[in-house]
Chain A
Amino acid sequence: MAPQTTKAERTSSLRPPAGFSRRDFLRGSSAVAAASALQQQATALAQEAAGVAIVAGETAITLNVNGKDHQVKAEPRTTLLDVLRYQLDLTGAKPVCNDGSSGAATILVDGKPMQANVMLALQAVGKKIQSVESLAGDAVPKAFVECDAQQCGFCTPGFVVAVRAFLNQKPKATEEEIRKGLNGNLCRCGTYANIVHAALLVVKGDA
């Protein structure tokens, strides 16, 4: 095992050290494709850099969340999760880990499951973002209730989105496929047995 890095060391990377700028950090990222959707300041900077979006400080951007455009403010370091939770008050996606390993912040980005806590808000510009709140009428949360697939419930929204994304890919998933395919999310209360039941219920079309 590598020695433990301290909190201070880890977070210090947030400050641009000498010889490495935030501009470098964003160069070549998906912000390129997103440049047209960036608001005034960012767009101007992007154009100036001839196709490369260069963003510093807080900028106003537009994010399409749950079918609606929202004007939000983001720094280059601002995660999509922070924007969802603090600016849009969409708190279904949860801050559980720093690296996406818990799956608690699972959302859909252009239909694909992503972790909102390891995605920058700027990366999400121009994409269709769906949080768990958009699935309120979906069969998956219904099946979770039907099968009692939640206890404390903190991991549940992330799991609901993950199950939705998985079943979009494999609508006829077997139990074995479900058990193999949903290992990106953690539950501490241990609701897995009922999550398997819930996913199978959705496959059967009974939810």
Chain B
Amino acid sequence: MADAYFWPTKEKSQAIGTRVKRLDGPEKSNGTAKYTYDINIKNQLIAKALGCPHAHCKITSIDVAPALKVKGVVHAEPLKQSGNEIEWQGELLAVIAAETEAAAREGVAAIKVEYEMLPVFVEEDNLAAAEAAMRTSKGGGKAQTEKEPGDDDDEDEFIEKEIARLLKESAHVVEAEYGIDPITHCCLEPHGSTVAWEGNKLLVHLSTQNVSGTDEGFARDLNITSDDVTVHCDYIGGGFGSKFAPDYWGIAAARISKATGRPVKFMLDRDQELKLGGSRPSGYIKVKLGADKDGVVQVWDSEHWGSAGATNPGGVSHTVVPYVFTPKNYRRLATNIKTNHAQARAWRAPNHPQACAITQTALDDLAMKMGANSLDIFLKNLGTDENPGVSGAKPSVYKAEMEEGARLIGWKELWHPHGKGPAKGSVVEGLGLAIHTWGGGANQSSCLVKIHPDGGVETTCGTQDLGVGTRTVLALVLAECFGLPYESIKVNIGSSKMPVSGPSGGSTTVGGVSESHRRAGQDAFRHLAALVGEKLAVDPATLEAVKGRIQVVGNPDKSVSWKEATSLLGMKPLEVKGEYTRGTASPLSNSQVGGVQMAHVAVDKETGIIKVKKYVAVQDIGLVVAPTQAESQIYGAVIMGIAYSLFEERISDPKTGAFVNCELKDYKLARLGDIGEIVVKFYEPESERSRGVIGLGEPPVISPGAAISNAVCNALGVRVPTLPMTPQRVLAAIEKGARAGG
């Protein structure tokens, strides 16, 4: 039955869409939630590794024997051999397992390694230098023009001429460069595991966003089969796209545990976490855009470059350039640069935040050049639902969100043309906006819902809580199905021995687990309704679950309590499997969302310091299951966005390739005093709500770079071209603007 599954209307919803406390909030707040790092197994060893101090070198000798002389050291093994080439700083060379962390560190310090130095390249923002160092490769591209080349035309030549013609005929042209530096995932709980063997069976406590999908990686590398592996993760201390795999240090932990016959805990050190645990590719662009007299972009011509590290140097994908906006004529070319950095990992909304930051700034510069209101220019470039100028969501969705955002931030009242606002002393203020899209379709998910004859309800699902409130979402979905308080639902997640659910990546978790649980919940309810219908002598199809009772729709007089209903099950609990296959069309979930964000900033022209005064995020995610937790996720995304817009960057020493700010005192993240007022608004009219559940993790983290940069530009009247907009860069941009007579 295709229509067997559905969500209740907004008016009918009892649990879905209500504001509730996070189910695992108490454990997280009082310190009793056990993360991988917190799992202490009796008799465990602590492993620590030596990270390579050089960004590019060859190992000429490695000797771990001296470490074995250190008191407390039990095991020492090299991970690299003489002759191995190392291509990034921090790569783990050897690992020591000892009775205590301190002894393990002392053991690491005793390891003797000799290196032959090799040439280093880390200047990912410098295309000319990368070309000279033979570090570039083609990153793909595409060109399209309304006018098609004739049969005899050379296509490249035709495009070149056509783009030049369109630019020449444009009423307004912007020619500029923009950039966004690399950042890291910087998970507060570093990557790692605590492992133990029992005979040939391996138990891995793994800090992972992929509970159901990492067992086979351990099995493959350890010559056992997946059924002998249990991966467990009740809580994960941050992942953001970087914790999908066992990683070679996870395998090493299992290997050492086997060799020593003791449990092993192997968590990366802070500097190793920043060097190896994941980074986001950088992106730098040269743009020419041409617009008609109304400010509608007619032609886009860009070349961008950046690095994702040494192994697979793909930077920002050309497919998202320019971002969201789809001009009729464009040419875009990407160049990848190989640098001496560890391979980048998926960072919340891969490609999108960078693409947004380096292209929607150009659209705002068009507004500045025209002396126009940025909001008007963004609106004009949306097109119409029939003839869209954007991808992802419908133009009407972005438009409605822009209007809502403008109202919430006071755009009309606060707007002034770029650089023309009033100054309070040396402080000027400005407004900026950006828009974004994301897929967020539901992931594969299975669950087993169990209803006990005594009324107890539990679910078991091999998913994880990355911080989105997965447990709370599952409880709300089942509470809705059974008319029960959400706190009464027992949620079991976090083990590879549970029904398989997809990894938490790409905003797919809430969609996936809502699918499987709503399906199981509705099926289970129908089973119970049949029993209750028999008892009450009514058609089961007329029954509903409301406030702890199963009743004839709208008639509490014809009802039984939940417990009476479940007692009809007899001796055996009812077990119902819920299953959703990724990509299946469903009335419960959907994909493709649109979001709009606006920033109001103050910039001190004397110090170069930027303060975000107010930030508005308007977001469509279809049906909102858990509004409080969803709101938290948007707050968090905006705050991450403030960090990468103003503070955060991986700084590499150009000579040695060293990651110079790999400790938290130097790696600048936003702190509590760095955020202003943040306003979150869900765009949830029936047209969007009726689409069902769509993921939220990625979309709200995309726009901040462009929105804040545009606000700073509106305040100053000059562009600070590269993120993060550090005080130094702000002052340099002001000086450059003054020299240009701006």
Chain A residues with a Cβ under 8 A of chain B:
1-4, 6-9, 11-12, 14-15, 75, 77-78, 82, 85-86, 89-99, 101-102, 104, 131-133, 135-136, 141-142, 144-146, 148-157, 160, 178-180, 182-183, 185-196
Contacts and interface: CB of A to CB of B under 8 A. Distances in A.
B191 to A, nearest CB: 13
Contacts of B449: none
B142 to A, nearest CB: 35
Contacts of B22: 145, 148, 150
B661 interface: yes
Contact of A97 (B24, B270, B678): B270
Nearest to B111: A8
Contacts of B653: 1, 3-4
A154 B272 CA distance: 18
Contact of B29 (A1, A12, A78, A157): A157
Interface stretch (B35-43, B125-133, B450-458, B554-562): B35-43
A8 B53 contact: yes
A190 B29 contact: no
Contacts, number: 224
Interface string B232-269: 00011111100000000000000000000000000101
A3 B35 contact: no
A12 B109 contact: yes
A152 B557 CA distance: 45
B468 A154 contact: no
A85 B675 contact: no
Contact of B640 (A92, A182, A190): A190
A99 to B, nearest CB: 5
Contacts of A89: 40
Given A101-B665, A133-B31, A157-B31, A191 B635 contact: yes
Given A136-B30, A153-B237, A194 B108 contact: no
B222 to A, nearest CB: 27
A14 B188 contact: no
B384 to A, nearest CB: 35
Instruction: Name the prevailing secondary structure of the A interface residues.
Output: loop
A144 B33 CA distance: 14
Given A85-B38, A91-B40, A97 B628 contact: no
Interface of B: 21-22, 24-35, 37-38, 40, 50-51, 53, 89, 100-102, 105-106, 108-109, 111, 113, 186-189, 235-240, 267, 269-272, 466-469, 628-629, 631-633, 635-640, 643, 651, 653, 656, 658-665, 669-673, 675, 678
B270 A190 contact: no
Given A91-B40, A182-B673, 4 more contacts: A15-B106, A82-B101, A99-B664, A102-B664
A99 B665 contact: yes
Contacts of B26: 141, 145
9 interchain residue pairs of minimum CB distance: A92-B31, A190-B639, A154-B237, A153-B28, A6-B53, A190-B636, A151-B467, A91-B38, A145-B25
B31 A188 contact: no
A160 B30 contact: yes
Contact of A144 (B25, B100, B670): B25
A190 to B, nearest CB: 3
B129 to A, nearest CB: 20
Contacts of B31: 90-93, 131-133, 157, 160
A194 B672 contact: no
A76 B26 CA distance: 35
B629 A148 contact: yes
